[in-house]
Amino acid sequence: MAKRFNIRMAGVGGQGVVTGSHILSTAVIHAGGESTIVPFYGSEKRMAPVESYVRVSDEPIYEIGEITFPHIIIIFHPQVITHGKSYTMPFYFGLKEDGIALINHDGPMSLHRDQQRELDERRAKLYYFPATKLSLEVAGMDLATNMALMGCIGAITGLTSVEALEQSVKDRFLGKGFVVSGGTAALDSVVERKFKKKQELIDKNVAVIQAGWNYAVDHGWAATTVKRSEARATVSA
């Protein structure tokens, strides 16, 4: 049976939802799998709703379009839930039975009792993961929140590796062929200014990915085949 995860990522403008989905998608392909992405957003501005639909599998993917019934949803920002900053309401709409909701939040959120009941009815697994906190601790900035989440989801799906994720970060920031929109290019330059060298930027991002990966393993969320990532030397602060 094919390993197949349809992932809906919801976040707000500036968090790198689309960038994150590109990196996960490329990393799955680097690891020998298959993946497609469908980004979905309106005007490009900070804090505006952004969704991205990522399909990952170890077999060819034929179908197209948005994902209505995901296996996994990733919530990049708590305001997606609390303020309804999303194209999909409520945030778990269409989540398959026994599906996973990976939520960027420091500890459990108090959900409305109707929402909690509906999540219980479909036996949803809620994983609260402090991605922004981890990004601040490991990289000294919140802009690697998406990297933490991609490391975490990489371990949960078991369809890629930290090495493949590192390779796709390099493709993204060192590659010549990657075309980004004006808004994303502006953010890229902000990120790049923070680091003296691009290599430092990549090292920090990969360190956050690794931390996210290991967080998933340590909390028992990861796929059974996935192990902690120890290979990489810790980067200097």
Give the interface with other proteins as residue ranges (CB under 8 A): 1-2, 59, 61-69
Q: Give the type of residue at 85.
A: K
**What DSSP letter does each residue of 44-74 carry, written as one string?**
--TTSEEEEEEEEESS-----S--SS-SEEE
How far is the C-alpha of 53 from the C-alpha of 214, rounded, in Å?
24
Q: DSSP label at 219?
A: T
Nearest residue (CB) to other proteins, 65 versus 220: 65
Nearest residue (CB) to other proteins, 26 versus 145: 26
Q: How far is the CB of 140 from other proteins (least distance, A)?
A: 36
Q: Give the type of residue at 134.
A: L
Residues contacting 156, CB < 8 A, separation 6+: 72, 100, 102, 127, 216, 221, 222, 223
Nearest residue (CB) to other proteins, 96 versus 170: 96
Nearest residue (CB) to other proteins, 37 versus 126: 37
Q: How far is the CB of 144 from other proteins (least distance, A)?
A: 28
Nearest residue (CB) to other proteins, 65 versus 107: 65
Q: How far is the CB of 90 from other proteins (least distance, A)?
A: 18
Q: How far is the CB of 36 from other proteins (least distance, A)?
A: 8
Q: DSSP label at 122?
A: T
- The whole-angstrom distance between residue 90's C-alpha and the CA centroid of its chain comes to 19
Beginning with the edge strand found earlier in the chain, give each strand of the sheet holding 100-104 in spatial order.
34-41, 49-57, 4-12, 72-75, 100-104, 125-129
Q: Are 55 and 61 in contact (CB under 8 A)?
A: yes
Q: How far is the CB of 176 from other proteins (least distance, A)?
A: 16
Nearest residue (CB) to other proteins, 63 versus 230: 63
Q: Are 152 and 102 in contact (CB under 8 A)?
A: yes
Q: Could you tell me the end-to-end alpha-carbon distance of the chain, in angstroms, rounded to an integer?
A: 44
Q: How far is the CB of 214 from other proteins (least distance, A)?
A: 32
